[in-house]
Amino acid sequence: MTNKEKRQKKVALGIDLGGTFIKSAIVDETGEILSEMQVRTPPGRDVHDIVGEIVKLIGHHQDRHPEIEGIGVGSPGLVDETQAIIRLSPNFPDWNDVHLRSLIAKGTSLPVFLENDVNCFVLAEQRWGAGRKFQNVLGLALGTGIGGGIVIDNKLYRGCSGAAGELGHISVDLWGPKCNCGNRGCVERYLGRQWFIQAARDILDNEEIKTPKQVSELADSGDQTAIKFLEDRGFILGVACTSLIHIFDPQSIVIGGGIAQCGEPLFRGIRKCIEKRAYAILAEKVKILPAELGTNAGAMGAAAVAFEMGNIS
Amino acid sequence: MTNKEKRQKKVALGIDLGGTFIKSAIVDETGEILSEMQVRTPPGRDVHDIVGEIVKLIGHHQDRHPEIEGIGVGSPGLVDETQAIIRLSPNFPDWNDVHLRSLIAKGTSLPVFLENDVNCFVLAEQRWGAGRKFQNVLGLALGTGIGGGIVIDNKLYRGCSGAAGELGHISVDLWGPKCNCGNRGCVERYLGRQWFIQAARDILDNEEIKTPKQVSELADSGDQTAIKFLEDRGFILGVACTSLIHIFDPQSIVIGGGIAQCGEPLFRGIRKCIEKRAYAILAEKVKILPAELGTNAGAMGAAAVAFEMGNIS
């Protein structure tokens, strides 16, 4: 076999649009990152400025990697069922029905695909990360809010409006505290960043706490109240995970994002709840796993969406 | 076109194995019932007695309808991922790893398929009943317990152990009352038959209440406490439905079973909760519908499973 006959690995460009950075990575079909680059998100968050930056990023990568066959873009917010339009986005409050896919597509000859950013994260973890051995994987991203994603038979499940997977808005307490979304007792209301920090300040009686990492450091240093706090937050998340296990009978739930880095006490709480409360026959099988791909997961998953949607792998 | 050239409609036999009756129906691919028959479940619930009755039913139907191409059997309990074995069943406490599919298959030359009974109900309602216009449908059966089923892209979603869709064991109150399953605050704990009746007795201060129908009749006669009770139970179910809407973004949730016949006040409570608490963009789309197929849904759905699994439509 000559080199020419060797099948070249397909590559796609994944772009992860965040509130602070636009990250990008060229990824081959095995999940290897060939090149990456990030730029600051234009501070005004104007859609045309952002599209301009994304088109520049595409050009930069294409000059060096002309073999790119497709582009995936992960964006916060509700992506419509045609995967073309951002219906609304908490990170970009002025965005209503923004035709992001066609705006970007005007700036490139390559096919462009759009997907919710957390869906991208979950798809990347299922393909190449913690969930890579499994076909049915749920993912939770513990960030400012709590996002989720559902992979069934190796494919993202999107629902009828493209909005499926809002796993942070599972209510674990019907008369619990009101969530920003209007619902009560959402798991986001206990583990979303602001609520998590507020509760940590109250329970640890420490107004100095500004980040989840500080709580985690206190726990690492042996502070029993901090350890208990993290276990209890894990337990609350475990209640939602238990419901998800009863609903989906999944092979794995992958948990990532900033607060997931609070480590063992948090995961211990999740697992303890599942062990106590989920059907034993299901609890024994399901793997509760920390995400593995780190901050590149979003861009990698956006590339995975290009592979999935563009039939380029 | 001669009659001979006209394509004959395919037909399957569906069998619904219940604690009291074994129901059976011959169903064509359009959902029309050509014939039906029910017998009493042998009182000892011995598996060989039950298999004997089922094989007799099959023979009876085949004599009259030799065109039957496959047999679906819906059974209570956890059907394994190969759809051959009942792992365990609350209705048949002695059943552990019963190879029901092969036991029945020994008595017939036709292909036999096995599925959980509530999954059968949901598949029937999605194909031919309240959910027939939709591809993504969730179903809830409010019976002794609360069962559920998930149809995605016109197919049952079974999960990795065949146990998906236990929608009655979504917790709506993390420190709520203990459910028979070991979890807390399961929606079944509020709307499963025994709990529903117990709560109705307490709240209506009426020890005469023995059935959900009595509560419904009180509501129909204008009893404000009974109306409020049904609305409040509906609201609790609505909390689980709201979580399901955020998870699945489904087109429809179909609700059947005895307690679903408590009618308008119950459905009003469900819809009120969803309207108040679910994302507006999703709540506007999803249809909350009472089941339409009545007591034949189980047998019809078992036939649908034979169509789905046997490639005979």
pLDDT in tens, A135-177: 999 999 999 999 999 999 999 999 999 999 999 999 999 999 9
Check residue A117 and give its pLDDT: 96
Q: How far is B74 from B102, CA to CA, in rounded Å? A: 14
- Nearest C-alpha of chain B: how many angstroms from A86? 13
Report the run of H or E that residue A274 belongs to, with start and end: helix A264-277
Q: How confident is the model at residue A309 (pLDDT cuts 50, 70, 90)?
A: confident
**Could you report the per-residue pLDDT of B109-129, keeping only the tens digit for each?**
999 999 999 999 999 999 999
- DSSP secondary structure of A19-66: SSEEEEEEEETTS-EEEEEEEEPPTT--HHHHHHHHHHHHHHHHHH-T
- Nearest C-alpha of chain A: how many angstroms from B36? 32
Q: Which residues of A touch B134 (CB under 8 A)?
A: 160
Rounded mean pLDDT of A119-135?
98
- Nearest C-alpha of chain B: how many angstroms from A173? 4
- Nearest C-alpha of chain B: how many angstroms from A273? 9
Q: How far is A244 from A249, CA to CA, in rounded Å? A: 8
Q: Do the chains contact at A172 and B174, CB–CB below 8 Å?
A: yes
Q: Which residues of A touch B161 (CB under 8 A)?
A: 249, 281-282, 285
User: What percent of chain A is modeled with pLDDT above 90?
Assistant: 86
Check residue A310 and give its pLDDT: 75
**Closest residue of A to B81, CA-based?**
A249
Three-state DSSP class for residue B140: strand
Check residue B7 and give its pLDDT: 63
Walk across the sheet containing B11-17 and list its strands.
B33-40, B21-28, B11-17, B68-75, B112-116
**Closest residue of B to A232, CA-based?**
B174
**Could you report the per-residue pLDDT of A202-219, keeping only the tens digit for each?**
999 999 999 999 999 999
A84-98, B169-183, B289-303: least confidently modelled range: A84-98
Q: Which residues of A touch B244 (CB under 8 A)?
A: 247
User: What percent of chain B is modeled with pLDDT above 90?
Assistant: 86
- Nearest C-alpha of chain B: how many angstroms from A264? 22
Q: Do the chains contact at A276 and B182, CB–CB below 8 Å?
A: yes
Instruction: Report in angstroms the alpha-carbon separations of A96 from A50, A119, A208, A236.
Output: 15, 20, 37, 33
Rounded mean pLDDT of B37-65?
95
Q: Do the chains contact at B281 and A174, CB–CB below 8 Å?
A: no
- Nearest C-alpha of chain A: how many angstroms from B25? 29
Reply yes or no on whether the pLDDT at B1 is more than 50: no
- Specify the higher pLDDT residue, B4 or A266: A266
Q: Which residues of B touch A167 (CB under 8 A)?
A: 246-247
DSSP state of B107: T
**Closest residue of A to B156, CA-based?**
A248
Check residue B263 and give its pLDDT: 86
Check residue B312 and give its pLDDT: 64
Reply yes or no on whether the pLDDT at A3 is more than 90: no
Q: Do the chains contact at B171 and A78, CB–CB below 8 Å?
A: no
Q: Which domains, from first to last, does chain B contain?
A: 11-117+296-310 (3.30.420.40), 130-292 (3.30.420.40)
Q: Do the chains contact at A78 and B281, CB–CB below 8 Å?
A: yes
Q: Which of B157, B166, B278 is nearest residue A246 as measured by Cβ atoms?
A: B166
Check residue A7 and give its pLDDT: 63
Reply yes or no on whether the pLDDT at B68 is more than 60: yes
Check residue A287 and give its pLDDT: 98
**Could you report the per-residue pLDDT of B148-188, keeping only the tens digit for each?**
999 999 999 999 999 999 999 999 999 999 998 899 999 99
Three-state DSSP class for residue B69: strand
Q: How confident is the model at residue B2 (pLDDT cuts 50, 70, 90)?
A: very low
**Could you report the per-residue pLDDT of B217-229, keeping only the tens digit for each?**
999 999 999 999 9
Reply yes or no on whether the pLDDT at A5 is more than 50: no
Closest of A33, A31, A57, A183 to residue A110, by C-alpha: A57
pTM: 0.95
Q: Which of B78, B150, B172 is nearest residue A174 as measured by Cβ atoms?
A: B172
**Residue among B85, B138, B160, B273 with most chain A CBs within 10 A, to mutate:** B160
Reply yes or no on whether the pLDDT at B5 is more than 50: no
**Could you report the per-residue pLDDT of B87-98, keeping only the tens digit for each?**
988 778 888 899
- DSSP secondary structure of A142-189: ESSSEEEEEEETTEE---SSS----GGG-BSBTTSPBPTTS-BSBTHH
What is the overall mean pLDDT for chain B?
Answer: 94
Q: Which of B158, B163, B242 is nearest residue A171 as measured by Cβ atoms?
A: B242
Rounded mean pLDDT of B251-265?
94
DSSP state of B178: B
Q: Do the chains contact at A160 and B236, CB–CB below 8 Å?
A: no
**Closest residue of B to A156, CA-based?**
B248
Q: How far is A312 from A309, CA to CA, in rounded Å? A: 8
Q: Which of A152, A170, A239 is nearest residue B246 as measured by Cβ atoms?
A: A170
ipTM of the complex: 0.94
Check residue A183 and give its pLDDT: 96
User: What percent of chain B is modeled with pLDDT above 70?
Assistant: 97
Three-state DSSP class for residue B187: coil
Q: Which residues of B touch A242 (CB under 8 A)?
A: 171, 183
What is the overall mean pLDDT for chain A?
Answer: 94
DSSP state of A81: T
